[in-house]
Amino acid sequence: AQTVTQSQPEMSVQEAETVTLSCTYDTSENNYYLFWYKQPPSRQMILVIRQEAYKQQNATENRFSVNFQKAAKSFSLKISDSQLGDTAMYFCAFPGGNNAGNMLTFGGGTRLMVKP
Amino acid sequence: KAGVTQTPRYLIKTRGQQVTLSCSPISGHRSVSWYQQTPGQGLQFLFEYFSETQRNKGNFPGRFSGRQFSNSRSEMNVSTLELGDSALYLCASSGGQSAYNEQFFGPGTRLTVL
C-alpha cells in the first residue's frame, strides 16, 4: 500500500519569502504521478502542481515548484515570493495505483501561515 | 463550467440517525470520489463511483454507502451515526479514469453528530 508522510504539521513564513514543504512517500510502482493540493480556510481543495515520475525535470507553476527525488522518494514543494493568499493547508497526494481508479492517498498535511 | 457542488453544506444530527449527502460533479465528469476529513485521521478515501459503478472502496464500515445516478450525481449515506462520524465530507470529480488526472473538489459538507 502507498503511504505518504508530511513531517511538518505547521510552518510559517514572512510575506515575500520562500518556504519549502516536505513530503516523502513509499511505493513499489515505477511510473506514477504526485500532487500537491492546497486547502484554503474556505475549504475548497485545489490542485497546486503535479509531477510525473518519469520526467526528470521538476515541475513548476508560477511561484510554485517541486524538488522531486525519485530514488529518495521525496517530493517537496517550494513556494517563492510567498503571499498572504498562500495561507492554507497543503497536502501531498499519491494515486492509489493502476487498479485503484481515482483514489488518492493524502499525507497528513502542513498548515502554512504567511505573515505580513 | 460550474464547479463541484455539495449539499447540504452543514448538517447536525444525533447518534443513531442516518444522513444522506449529495454531490454534483462538473458537467461531463463520470467519476465521483468521496473523502472523509477529520483532525485526527486526516483525509481518508471512502469510495469512488464511475458510470454508476463503485470502483473502489476505502476501509470504512458498511454503515457508509453510496450510489451514483445516470447523470453522474452521487450520494453517500451514513446509517446509525456515531460521534466519530463528525467530519468534513469532501467529494471530488474527475474526467478521467485514473488518479493521474486532476480531481476537482467540492466545498464539502460539515457533519456534526451530537
Of B3, B90, B97, the CB nearest to A101: B97
The x, y and z cell numbers of residue B39, run together, are: 483532525
Q: What angle do CA A111, A97, A45 make, to 5 degrees?
A: 30
Task: State chain A's mean pLDDT as an integer.
Answer: 92
Q: CB-based contact (8 Å) between B105 and chain A?
A: yes
- In A, which residues are within 8 Å of B105 by CB distance? 37, 44-46
In this complex, the residue of A45, A46, A95 whose CB is nearest that of residue B99 is A95
Q: What is the pLDDT of residues B21-47, one digit of tens each?
A: 999 999 999 999 999 999 989 999 999
Does the beta carbon of B58 lie under 8 angstroms from any beta carbon of chain A?
Answer: yes
pLDDT band, residue A1 (cuts 50/70/90): low
Cis peptide before B25 (omega within 30 of 0): no
By DSSP bridging, strand A64-69 and strand A60-61 are antiparallel
Q: Nearest-CA residue of chain A relative to B99?
A: A102
Q: How are beta strands A19-21 and B109-113 bridged, if at all?
A: unpaired
- Across the range B41-64, mean pLDDT stands at 94
Judged by a CB distance cut-off of 8 A, whether residue A84 touches chain B is no
Give me the pLDDT at residue B74, please. 98
Q: Chain B contact for A47, CB < 8 A?
A: yes
Contact between residue B12 and residue B27 where contact means Cβ atoms under 8 Å apart: no
Q: Chain A to chain B, count of Cβ pairs less than 8 Å apart?
A: 72
* Percent of chain B surpassing pLDDT 70: 99
Instruction: State the average pLDDT over residues A43-62.
Output: 91
Per-residue pLDDT at A97: 66
pLDDT at residue number B38: 96
B40 to chain A nearest CA, in Å?
A: 9
pLDDT of residue B53: 94
pLDDT in tens, A79-114: 999 999 999 999 999 987 666 778 899 999 999 999
> Exposure pattern of A87-105 as b/e (b: 16+ CB <10 Å)?
bbbbbbbbbbbeebbbbbb
Please tell me if residue A107 touches chain B, with a CB cutoff of 8 Å. Answer: yes
pLDDT of residue A18: 98
- B13 forms bridges with which residues in the sheet? B113
Task: Kindly report the three-state secondary structure assignment for every residue of A6-24.
Answer: CCCCEEEEECCCCEEECCE
